[in-house]
């Protein structure tokens, strides 16, 4: 969730130089300070010695303007800083910085992947008034893509169903992308049948989370087991099973909505 003290915008309120938060990416890795896993603050990106490829204003976090920048691979990283995978930083970044870093990464990737019009092939131009790109040749407008995906916690009495993805180490709840023409509830039922061959009932909305891997909106539900015997789809999962509170396997990171759902269910058992 984006912090309440963050105010999104496309154009800075002033051109006057002021200290700003710089979300700097090189090949999808984020630049952070070594000592405290913070985002660097500079008045100008030139202070970093890095060469920008593209840059976007994101908005203001309290008094600090925020920018997202992609840079060429540097000959030398700024002193006291390293580029790290955003996924690897989930546990180290604060909630607000992780949310903003996810926004920054999605904006940069959207810009990089939509340099040309998908309809006529002409060069796209950034809009000055909204987060969009406009084709001056045919008029097509492109907005940052958000991919809806459902994620569902399935319970059976005091048990919850957890699975491990192919080559994964953590166990989590079930998830899958929404297909064209589907409702979210239909996606829940289809994904569960495809991956586990069971049925669910009493599907209820839990919450949502923007998830930048790569550009998803995770829409979370709870559901109850309705019947069938688990048969794991080996093309999707390595294993799945029912777990109780006293025998849980390794779980997803605390910032994920999957973990919020698991913790909420466990708390309800107390």
For residue 214, what pLDDT is reported? Answer: 86
pTM of the shown model: 0.91
Q: Which CATH topology does 147-268 take?
A: Nucleoside Triphosphate Pyrophosphohydrolase (3.90.79)
pLDDT of residue 37: 82
Closest CA to 67 of 77, 76, 57: 57
Mean pLDDT of 186-209: 97
Domain ranges of the chain: 6-113, 116-144, 147-268
User: Considering the chain, what percentage of its residues have pLDDT values greater than 70?
Assistant: 100
**What is residue 107's predicted lDDT score, i.e. its pLDDT?**
97
What confidence score (pLDDT) does residue 242 get? 98
Assess contact for 68 and 61: CB atoms under 8 A: no
DSSP 183-249: -HHHHHHHHHHHHH--EEEEEEEEEEEEETTTTEEEEEEEEEEEE------TTTEEEEEEE-GGG--
Give the angle 231-236-237 at the CA atoms, nearest 5°.
60
Tokens of 204: 């209820």
Q: In this predicted structure, what is the pLDDT of residue 109?
A: 95
CATH of domain 6-113: 3.90.79
Mean pLDDT of 116-142: 96
User: Is 147-268 the same fold as 6-113?
Assistant: yes
pLDDT digits (tens, 9 = 90+) for 87-108: 999 989 999 999 999 999 999 9
The whole-number average pLDDT for the span 20-37 is: 93
pLDDT, tens digit (0-9, with 9 covering 90-100), for 135-186:
999 999 999 999 999 999 999 999 999 999 988 899 999 999 999 999 999 9
- What is the predicted pLDDT for the residue at 140? 97
Q: According to the model, what pLDDT value does residue 16 have?
A: 79
pLDDT of residue 110: 96
């Amino acid at each position: 969730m984006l912090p309440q003290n963050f105010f999104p915008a496309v154009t800075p309120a002033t051109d006057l130089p002021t200290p700003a938060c710089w979300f700097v990416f090189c090949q999808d890795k984020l630049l952070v300070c070594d000592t405290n896993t913070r985002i660097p603050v500079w008045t100008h990106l030139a202070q970093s010695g890095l060469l920008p490829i593209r840059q976007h204003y994101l908005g203001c976090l309290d008094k600090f303007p925020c920018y997202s920048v992609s840079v060429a691979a540097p000959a030398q990283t700024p002193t006291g800083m390293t580029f790290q995978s955003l996924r690897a930083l989930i546990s180290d970044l604060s909630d607000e910085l992780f949310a903003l870093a996810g926004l920054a990464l999605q904006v940069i990737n959207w810009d990089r992947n939509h340099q040309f019009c998908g309809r006529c092939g002409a060069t796209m131009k950034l809009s000055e008034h909204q987060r969009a790109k406009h084709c001056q040749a045919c008029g097509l407008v492109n907005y940052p893509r958000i991919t809806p995906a459902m994620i569902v916690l399935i319970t059976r009495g005091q048990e919850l169903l957890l699975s491990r993805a192919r080559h994964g180490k953590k166990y989590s709840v079930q998830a899958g992308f929404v297909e064209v023409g589907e409702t979210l509830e239909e996606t829940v039922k289809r994904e569960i049948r495809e991956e586990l061959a069971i049925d669910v009932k009493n599907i209820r909305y839990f919450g949502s989370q923007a998830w930048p891997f790569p550009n998803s909106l995770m829409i979370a539900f709870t559901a109850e087991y309705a019947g069938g015997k688990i048969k794991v789809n080996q093309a999707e999962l390595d294993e799945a099973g029912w777990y109780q509170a006293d025998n849980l396997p390794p779980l997803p990171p605390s910032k994920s909505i999957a973990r919020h759902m698991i913790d909420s269910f466990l708390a309800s058992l107390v």
